[in-house]
């Protein structure tokens, strides 16, 4: 028997209804905030991710699914969506008509990391990006939108953590202070952090190795190094979050895992997933559009881990599977032919109806209707057809009423529509 590749999973009936519910709630809310759906390819040129995410990140160094195509060009299964959306924004000159664009996408991403609870090699993200707005009001609004989505999904045990990463003007002074600490702690750092401390010191703050986290416990806070513009921006973000009723915590260690972030960075964390506490995160990346060959346009966005979100949301929505309105228990060849016609026409009219096609006994068919969770059963046998009417049974109250065979589809449609 051929089985799944390690780190991948099937989303089965009984689970997929919750995913559909999450997607419908997301689409509805995002479009209320003016976002538009964009569909991007799963495969991109490797250069897109190495240039945008950063060559010193775990994603580019260790986790990307990269391989040469038949011409020898390196291509990669997308590990995240932001770079692809930025590429599309530039390539199709979406900024020409209006630099302000609000875009979202939902789909699979791929990273070859160690599979564990809530983390897969093919995982799904909800991704939202805003281009052309530098105002801190947008930072606050997208975090408000994100927290509103979690409220609608009854995900209440979550906390917003925020930080500022500064800008190219103020970050060098912080990097210098951090580098001094790293040189003092060199012997306590893991191999990866020892290598990164010289080329990208901020990445050490994102390390999950316990020894590195302990060594960095007394690291300086970038908030103490912000230039006046970044300080004013971050203060405004916090002020408007408070205005919108979004509670948050400052986290000086929060740097996110990608190199393109500037100024505002945030994560939504929960205590319900053990070590994998983050279910969403994002921030501002004002220089990425220009770095990838586009105009100098600011941007901000976030991504939600759908796998983790679904695990939490399932606690409040344990069963969203759709049950049939009607099960037709047909006894005899003539009844089966009629039941087949009725079920097909009811489905085309928007009413979920089922039947048994194996010619089993009434007792077996009633058990099947019960397993399916059918609200009503229509009992149609030769005796009932001779009388020109069939029996409609309510599976909750057990009440049975006769229903004329003529115009039966219309009668059921009127009753269940």
Q: 210-251, pLDDT tens digit by residue?
A: 877 877 777 788 898 999 999 999 999 999 999 999 999 999
CA-to-CA dists, residue 134 to 127, 164, 250, angstroms: 19, 14, 21
Region of poorest pLDDT, from 33-37, 40-44, 189-193, 376-380: 189-193
Which token pair is 381? Answer: 């046998």
pLDDT over threshold 80, residue 348:
yes
Do strands 400-404 and 122-131 pair parallel, antiparallel, or not at all (unpaired)?
A: unpaired
Tell me the pLDDT tens digit for each residue of 311-321: 999 888 888 88
Q: What is the pLDDT of residue 63?
A: 85
Longest dimension (CA), the chain: 93
DSSP 3-state of 304: strand
Examine the pLDDT at 258 and tell me if it is beyond 70: no
Element of type H or E holding 305: strand 299-305
Nearby residues of 131 by Cβ (< 8 Å), 6 or more positions away: 89, 94, 95, 99, 100, 101, 102, 103, 289, 297, 298, 299
Paired with 163 in beta bridges are: 265
CA 362, CA 329: separation in Å to the nearest integer?
A: 7
Q: What is the DSSP letter of 62?
A: I
Whether residue 41 is predicted with pLDDT greater than 90 in this model: the reply is: yes
Share of the chain above pLDDT 70, in %: 97
CA atoms within 13 A on the CB side of 198: 5
CA distance 30 to 231: 29
Domains of the chain: 16-170+226-313 (3.30.930.10), 326-416 (3.40.50.800)
pLDDT tens-digit map of 185-194: 777 778 777 7
pLDDT in the model for residue 183: 78
Q: Is the dihedral of CA 212, 124, 301, 145 positive or negative?
A: negative
Tokens of 297: 């346009």
pTM, full prediction: 0.87
Share of the chain above pLDDT 90, in %: 64
CA distance 354 to 114: 43
């Amino acid at each position: 028997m051929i089985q799944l590749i390690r780190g991948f999973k099937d989303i089965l009936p009984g689970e997929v209804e919750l995913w559909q519910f999450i997607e419908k709630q997301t689409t509805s809310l995002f479009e209320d905030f003016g976002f538009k759906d964009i569909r991007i390819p799963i495969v991109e040129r490797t250069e897109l991710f190495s240039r945008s995410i950063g060559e010193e990140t775990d994603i580019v160094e260790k986790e990307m699914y990269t391989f040469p195509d038949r011409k020898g060009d390196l291509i990669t299964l997308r590990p995240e969506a932001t770079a692809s959306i930025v590429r599309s924004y530039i390539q199709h000159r979406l900024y020409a008509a209006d630099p302000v664009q609000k875009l979202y996408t939902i789909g699979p991403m791929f990273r070859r990391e160690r599979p564990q609870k809530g983390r897969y090699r093919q995982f799904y993200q909800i991704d939202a990006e805003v281009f052309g707005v530098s105002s801190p009001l947008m930072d606050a609004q997208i975090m408000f939108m994100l927290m509103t989505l979690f409220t609608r999904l009854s995900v209440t045990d979550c906390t917003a953590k925020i930080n500022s990463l500064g800008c190219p003007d103020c970050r060098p002074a912080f990097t210098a202070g951090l580098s001094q600490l790293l040189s003092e702690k060199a012997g306590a750092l893991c191999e990866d952090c020892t290598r990164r401390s010289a080329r990208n010191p901020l990445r050490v703050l994102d390390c999950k190795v316990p020894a590195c986290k302990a060594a960095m416990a007394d690291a300086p806070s970038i908030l103490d190094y912000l230039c006046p513009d970044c300080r004013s921006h971050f203060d405004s973000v916090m002020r408007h979050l408070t205005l919108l009723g979004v509670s948050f915590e400052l986290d000086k260690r929060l740097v996110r895992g990608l190199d393109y972030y500037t100024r505002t960075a945030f994560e939504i964390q929960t205590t319900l997933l053990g070590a994998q506490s983050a279910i969403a995160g994002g921030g501002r990346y004002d220089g990425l559009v220009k770095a990838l060959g586009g105009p100098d346009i600011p941007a901000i966005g976030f991504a939600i881990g759908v796998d983790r979100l679904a695990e939490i949301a399932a606690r409040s929505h344990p069963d969203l599977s759709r049950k049939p309105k009607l099960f037709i228990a047909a006894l005899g060849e003539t009844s089966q032919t009629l039941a087949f016609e009725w079920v097909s026409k009811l489905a085309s009219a928007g009413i979920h109806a089922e039947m048994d096609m194996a010619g089993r006994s009434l007792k077996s068919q009633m058990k099947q209707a019960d397993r399916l969770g059918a609200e009503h059963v229509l009992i149609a046998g030769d005796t009932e057809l001779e009388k020109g009417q069939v029996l409609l049974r309510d599976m909750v109250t057990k009440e049975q009423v006769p229903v004329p065979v003529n115009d039966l589809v219309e009668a059921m449609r009127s009753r269940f529509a």
